[in-house]
């Protein structure tokens, strides 16, 4: 437990001082910041659209059981098989059974954070199955044996020179190839894999309750190929992704596109309602939908944290967070990074071990300001801190520090005793934590209270 927090602090310290990392991230997020305002222009009343989306997700989460059952009933009627997985291991076991039954040797996978959450690639490798990431960013990360750096743009931390060098090392290409040429190299490799694969795996951006379908939005077409070319399609999706109706996509798809990449709408938007039907020429012979809990009901049962399940994984909060931009996505050591990751990870995993993430925030509120569905992220970070204290997970030194602070704050005389000279010495000489990476602090010699008394000639 202590090691997880200590590792986070150590990695944060190193990454925050990495100027090349900061340069790359600022460049890539700068492109995002330039695109998003243009995408937002499609909304006549953006704030109203965000509020409406939040209300729809509120209704979906408050009635999660009934909507999921409606989805299961409808998609099952079209021949799909729905599997409920409570844990990571249950999900992996079910996927393993399906792959074994299909004698799967090659599996193609489109971009999916849930499959990262359950470490699907590692599991399949242990089973002797080749699992290929078909999203370009994910493919780059797989070649480099790294997890995604960002929810939406997995290789955001890499420059085009980094990717060219990686392809040269792993694939033997010319290190001087342009981004367009590198993309064509990946395309040639991946196209053959779709035809070879016995099983295709996708995630889902939304579960559509009324029609019994999953909605997938993407820019490369790899999601469509992954779910249609192999004979078996497995969709793995978190239970919180449900929305009541297909008509809700008219709001959620543009919101996700705008806040995720700055687009009005992404290039490929697909609704899958089951395997290939009689008389149809395209599509898989079988379709499985794995509905994953994996700690989500921990968030659901707590009225204070339930709001975090509204998240549509647009990644806007990561791009806005000053902490994320300085320490990077991998420092969090969790599937979901940035503000939303700091909110949900302690509940998806273990609060005691992961409570430190909720302190990795300036509480500036920028994450809440940019959230597509208006989740009060900075308040949920405070809620996590509160829960950790109530559960008794706060360290002894922190408890003592807050008791001393409370005692001093209730007594004006004690506050005045800690004058500016004492504070300056404490911060700059004794504490030193502040001055390791910052200039010295010099506090006023006298407090405002002392100056007020002197000026007005009376005590308050």
The set of residues, in sequence order, having a beta carbon less than 8 Å from that of 436 and lying 6+ positions away, is none
Shared-domain flag, residues 137 and 284: yes
Q: Which of 262, 264, 286 is nearest to 274 (CA)?
A: 286
How much of the chain exceeds pLDDT 90, in percent? Answer: 83
Give residue 3's pLDDT: 78
Instruction: Print the SS3 string covering 239-267.
Output: HHHEECCHHHHHHHHHHHHHHHHCCCCCC
Compute the distance between CA of residue 262 and CA of residue 34 in angstroms, rounded to an integer: 8
Give the chain's largest Cα–Cα span.
93
Specify the CATH number for the domain of residue 274.
3.40.50
Q: Is residue 221 part of a domain?
A: yes
3 state DSSP class of 360: coil
Q: Is residue 137 part of a domain?
A: yes
Q: What is the extent of the structural domain holding 411?
A: 407-456
Residues 6+ apart with CB under 8 A from 126: none
Residues 85 and 213 in one domain: yes
290 and 420 belong to one structural domain: no
pLDDT, tens digit (0-9, with 9 covering 90-100), for 336-377: 999 999 999 999 999 999 999 999 999 999 999 999 999 999
| Positions in the chain short of pLDDT 70 | 1-2, 431, 458-460
Q: Of 133, 147, 123, 234, nearest to 193 (Cα)?
A: 133
Closest CA to 120 of 85, 93, 159: 93
Tell me, yes or no, whether 412 lies in a domain.
Answer: yes
Round to whole Å and give the CA distance between 90 and 112: 18
| Domain end call among 244, 270, 294 | 294
Element (H, E) at 132: strand 130-133
Closest CA to 118 of 204, 24, 236, 251: 236
pTM of the model: 0.91
Pick the last residue of a domain from 294, 326, 352: 294
SS3 content of the chain, % helix, strand, coil (to 5): 55, 10, 35
- List C-alpha distances in Å: 359 to 3, 356, 378, 394: 16, 5, 10, 12
Q: Using an 8 Å Cβ cutoff, are 108 and 231 in contact?
A: no
Pairing of strands 268-272, 213-218: antiparallel
Q: Which two tokens stand for residue 120?
A: 């699907």
Between CA 6 and CA 234 the distance in angstroms is 38
How far apart are the C-alpha atoms of 127 and 39, rounded to whole Å?
43
Q: What's the rounded Cα separation, in Å, for the pair 259 and 253? A: 10
Q: How far apart are CA 459 and CA 308, in angstroms?
A: 48
Whether 7 is in a domain gets the answer: no
Q: Are 115 and 311 in contact (CB under 8 A)?
A: no
Last residue in a domain, options 261, 294, 327: 294
pLDDT at 460: 53
């Amino acid at each position: 437990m202590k090691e997880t927090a200590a590792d986070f602090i150590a990695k944060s310290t190193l990454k925050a001082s990495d100027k090349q990392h900061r340069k790359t991230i600022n460049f890539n997020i700068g492109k995002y910041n330039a695109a998003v305002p243009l995408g937002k222009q499609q909304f006549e009343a953006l704030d109203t659209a965000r509020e409406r989306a939040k209300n729809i997700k509120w209704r979906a989460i408050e009635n999660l059981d009934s909507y999921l059952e409606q989805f299961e009933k409808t998609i099952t009627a079209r021949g799909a098989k729905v599997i409920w997985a409570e844990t990571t291991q249950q999900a992996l076991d079910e996927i393993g059974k399906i792959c074994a039954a299909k004698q799967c040797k090659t599996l193609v996978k489109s971009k999916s954070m849930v499959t990262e959450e359950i470490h699907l690639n590692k599991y399949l490798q242990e089973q002797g199955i080749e699992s290929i990431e078909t999203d370009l960013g994910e493919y780059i990360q797989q070649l480099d044996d790294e997890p995604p750096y960002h929810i939406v743009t997995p290789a955001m931390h890499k420059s085009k020179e980094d990717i060219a060098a990686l392809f040269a090392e792993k694939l033997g290409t010319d290190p001087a190839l342009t981004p367009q040429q590198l993309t064509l190299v990946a395309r040639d490799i991946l196209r053959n894999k779709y035809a070879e694969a016995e099983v295709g795996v996708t995630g889902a951006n939304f579960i559509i309750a009324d029609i019994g379908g999953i909605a997938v939005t993407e820019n490369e077409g790899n999601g469509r190929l992954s779910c249609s070319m192999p004979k078996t399609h497995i969709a793995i999706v978190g239970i919180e992704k449900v929305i009541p109706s297909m008509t809700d996509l008219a709001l959620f798809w543009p919101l996700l596109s705008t806040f995720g990449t700055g687009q009005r709408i992404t290039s490929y938007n697909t609704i899958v309602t089951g395997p290939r039907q009689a008389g149809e020429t395209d599509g898989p012979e079988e379709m499985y939908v794995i509905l994953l809990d994996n700690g989500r009901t921990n968030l659901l049962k707590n009225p204070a944290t339930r709001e975090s399940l509204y998240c549509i994984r647009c990644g806007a909060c990561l791009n806005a967070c000053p902490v994320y931009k300085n320490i990077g996505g991998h420092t969090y050591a969790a599937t979901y990074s940035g503000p939303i990751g700091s909110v949900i990870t302690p509940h998806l995993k273990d609060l005691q071990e992961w409570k430190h993430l909720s302190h990795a925030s300036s509480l500036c509120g920028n994450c809440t300001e940019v959230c597509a569905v208006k989740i009060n992220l900075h308040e949920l970070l405070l809620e996590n801190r509160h829960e950790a204290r109530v559960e008794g997970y706060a360290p002894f030194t922190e408890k003592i520090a807050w008791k001393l602070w409370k005692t001093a704050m209730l007594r004006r005389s004690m506050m005045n005793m800690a004058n500016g000279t004492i504070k300056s010495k404490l911060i700059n000489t004794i504490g030193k934590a502040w001055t390791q990476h910052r200039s010295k602090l010099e506090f006023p010699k006298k407090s405002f209270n002392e100056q007020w008394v002197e000026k007005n000639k009376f005590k308050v």
